[in-house]
Structures are given as structure tokens and as C-alpha cells.
């Protein structure tokens, strides 16, 4: 019966979360009974959407929930064999027992690193793909702005827009990330919003206005984009991270959507599951051809999970934030 370390939320944060809001707790993982499996998590995904759940949704004094990739360590189920890799929502813990509900078997692509299935070739990349092509109705050659362009979702969205021969502007809050977007990714313009106010920088970077703004930030970034939207532009709203700590992401010029007849639509990845097969085919090919590049920030060990979540809110990740729990 292995000892499973897990992270509990012990206090609801106000504003930026602090390490004191979390506790590392040791529990014994029970053996699998008939019809069950014991899973050892290998990697857990750290996502901005966890922050709103710390305020409401995540129970106190229980192991936190989050996306993870695990390996079946014991099986008394006909559906799973020892060694199977399974995606699950039982992150923030090393081991758990399951009756199989909520586990999805993963057949990793042998030509790609395992972890890409947790970002570019997983739901993160799919969010960018469907958000841009289906919700945003992107057309070849359009003028595009992607915020948090060096992040997990943003970097994929920006590169898909480049593959579609668009003029692409990306924003980020750090110079090393800006350098990656300019040098490795080859965006047409890169904004460091901590150096130049986003409104001014976006105006200078978009002489032909914007047809699509892929919004990950809300607030000042959305306001700046609304000033630049061309007639019949589209704004797929993926996230509003600027308001996740405060609960507010104010925008004062929403009426611009009327004058320019702009479509503004929030979405989640499950809105376009019919595209998942196309996505997997396209993304695997783009990754193998080096047309989509990615970065990962991987912290080591379950004890680092709170630091990973806080670091995400502080912009200390380049690309996908992961915590490695086991080899």
C-alpha cells in the first residue's frame, strides 16, 4: 500500500495565492479492489482555471483536482492493464484508486515526447485550434493578435495563425519570452506589455487593424484590441487571466462591438469535439515538421505544486506549466 502525498487547499486565497493556502498531506493509497485500478500519477498539469476554483468550487481540506497523466500500477479491472497510461482529473496527488470512470487511455505518439500530450497535442492545443479556427473563423492572411502568446494555449494559437499565413502580433510580460516569440516562433510583432502600455503598443503593431483577437487576458488587453478591430472581426474569448485573482477584468469600450459588428464569444474546448480527429492529425504533423514549437516549465515533485500554480499567475512559466511526480 504506497504512501501518496497530496496537496490540500486549507484556506481560500484573497488576491494572489500564497504557499500558506496549501498543505502537503500524506495518505495511504488503498489496494485496488475488484473492478478497480491503482494509478500512479507521473505528471500533473497546472492551469490558470484552477485559480477561480480556489475562491469557489474546490473543497477545503481535500486533495485538489486537476488534469494529470498517470500509469496503472495495479489492475483488478478488465478494461486496464498494468502499465497503461491514463489521462485523469486526479492531479495534485501521487496515487489514487479508480473504478475507471474519468480515466482515458492514452496511446502516445512514439515519435513525440510523452509530455506533448499534456499540452500542444492535448486539450491545451485543441483549445487553441478550435478557438481560433472554429470559434474565431480564422481565414488565411488575416490580421491576428494573441495575448499570453508565449504561454501554453497562446503559443499554439499564434503558431496556427502563422501557419495560415496571417500577420500575427503576440503579447507577453517578459523579455526572454518575447525573444522566443521573435526568434524561434517568428511572429510579425511582439509586445512586452510590461514595458510599453498595451494600448499604445498594439496600435503601433497593427497598422491594418485586427480581424481576430484570441483573448487569454481580458481587461486592458481586450480593451486595447476592441479599439483595433476591423469590421466583422471576431474575438474568441479563451480566458481572462488578468481578473482571476481579483475577480474583475473591467473593459470600458465594449460598445465598439456594435460599430464594427464584432463577434465576441467565450468558449471551452468541449464545444468543438467533432474537430478532435482533425486536430490530432494536423498537430502531430506540425509538431513533427517543427512548424509548431513549444516550451515547458517542469517543476519536480508534488511539494512544488503550489509554487507552480502561484508561478503561473506571476508569469514564471515559459509554455506549459507541469509538475513531474514520478519517472
**Binding site residues, ligand NAP, CB under 6 A:** 47-49, 124, 127, 148, 150-154, 172-174, 177, 216-217, 238-239, 241-242, 267-269, 312-313, 315, 317
Q: Closest distance between ligand NAP and the C-beta of residue 115, in Å?
A: 14
Nearer to ligand NAP, 4 or 130 (CB): 130
The rounded distance, in Å, linking the Cα atoms of 74 and 38 is 5
The rounded distance, in Å, linking the Cα atoms of 156 and 158 is 5
Q: Closest distance between ligand NAP and the C-beta of residue 22, in Å?
A: 19
Q: Closest distance between ligand NAP and the C-beta of residue 327, in Å?
A: 24
Cα–chain center distance at 131: 12
Residue 274: HSE in the Cβ half-sphere, 13 Å Cα cutoff = 3
User: Residue 130: which residues within 8 A CB-CB, separation 6 or more?
Assistant: 267, 269, 271, 272, 275, 279
Nearer to ligand NAP, 29 or 237 (CB): 237
The rounded distance, in Å, linking the Cα atoms of 96 and 325 is 13
Q: Is 147 helix (H, G, I), strand (E, B) or coil?
A: coil
Q: Closest distance between ligand NAP and the C-beta of residue 15, in Å?
A: 12
Residues of 62-72 as b/e, b for ≥16 C-beta within 10 angstroms? ebbbbbbbbbb
Nearer to ligand NAP, 39 or 237 (CB): 237
Cα–chain center distance at 65: 15
Sign of CA pseudo-dihedral 149, 151, 152, 153 = negative
Q: Is 27 helix (H, G, I), strand (E, B) or coil?
A: strand
Nearer to ligand NAP, 166 or 313 (CB): 313
Q: Closest distance between ligand NAP and the C-beta of residue 316, in Å?
A: 7
Q: Closest distance between ligand NAP and the C-beta of residue 143, in Å?
A: 21
Sign of CA pseudo-dihedral 288, 45, 149, 57 = positive
Nearer to ligand NAP, 23 or 174 (CB): 174
Q: Closest distance between ligand NAP and the C-beta of residue 118, in Å?
A: 11
Nearer to ligand NAP, 88 or 242 (CB): 242
N-to-C CA span, the chain: 19
Nearer to ligand NAP, 242 or 256 (CB): 242
For residue 307, report the phi and psi dihedrals to the nearest 5 degrees: -65, -35
Q: How far is CA 108 from CA 113, 136, 250, in A?
A: 8, 29, 42
Nearer to ligand NAP, 4 or 172 (CB): 172
Please tell me the chain's helix, strand, coil percentages from 3-state DSSP, rounded to the nearest 5: 30, 30, 40
Q: Closest distance between ligand NAP and the C-beta of residue 82, in Å?
A: 32
Amino acid at each position: 500500500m504506497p504512501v501518496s502525498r497530496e496537496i490540500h487547499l486549507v484556506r481560500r486565497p484573497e488576491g494572489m495565492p500564497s504557499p500558506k493556502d496549501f498543505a502537503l498531506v500524506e495518505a495511504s493509497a488503498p489496494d485496488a479492489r475488484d473492478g478497480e485500478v491503482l494509478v500512479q500519477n507521473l505528471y500533473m498539469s497546472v492551469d490558470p482555471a484552477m485559480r477561480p476554483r480556489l475562491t469557489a468550487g474546490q473543497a477545503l481540506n481535500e486533495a485538489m483536482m486537476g488534469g494529470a497523466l498517470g500509469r496503472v500500477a495495479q489492475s483488478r479491472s478488465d478494461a486496464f492493464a498494468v502499465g497503461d497510461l491514463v489521462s485523469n482529473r486526479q492531479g495534485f496527488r501521487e496515487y489514487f484508486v479508480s473504478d475507471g470512470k474519468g480515466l482515458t487511455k492514452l496511446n502516445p505518439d512514439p515519435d513525440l515526447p510523452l509530455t506533448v500530450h499534456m499540452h500542444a497535442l492535448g486539450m491545451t492545443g485543441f483549445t487553441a485550434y478550435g478557438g481560433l479556427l472554429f470559434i474565431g473563423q480564422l481565414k488565411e492572411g488575416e490580421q491576428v493578435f494573441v495575448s499570453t502568446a508565449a504561454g501554453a494555449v497562446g503559443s499554439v494559437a499564434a503558431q496556427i495563425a502563422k501557419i495560415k499565413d496571417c500577420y500575427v502580433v503576440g503579447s507577453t510580460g517578459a523579455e526572454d519570452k518575447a525573444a522566443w516569440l521573435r526568434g524561434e516562433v517568428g511572429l510579425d510583432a511582439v509586445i512586452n506589455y510590461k514595458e510599453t502600455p498595451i494600448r499604445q503598443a498594439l496600435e503601433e503593431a497593427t497598422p491594418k487593424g485586427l480581424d481576430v483577437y484570441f483573448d487569454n487576458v481580458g481587461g486592458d488587453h481586450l480593451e486595447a484590441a476592441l479599439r483595433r478591430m476591423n469590421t466583422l472581426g471576431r474575438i474568441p474569448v479563451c480566458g481572462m487571466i488578468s481578473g482571476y485573482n481579483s475577480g474583475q477584468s473591467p473593459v470600458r469600450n465594449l460598445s465598439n462591438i456594435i460599430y464594427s459588428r464584432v463577434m465576441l464569444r467565450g468558449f471551452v474546448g468541449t464545444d468543438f469535439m467533432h474537430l478532435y480527429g482533425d486536430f490530432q492529425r494536423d498537430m502531430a504533423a506540425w509538431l513533427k515538421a517543427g512548424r509548431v514549437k513549444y516550451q515547458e516549465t517542469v517543476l519536480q515533485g508534488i511539494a512544488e505544486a503550489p509554487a507552480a500554480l502561484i508561478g503561473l499567475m506571476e508569469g514564471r512559466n515559459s509554455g506549459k506549466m507541469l509538475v513531474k511526480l514520478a519517472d
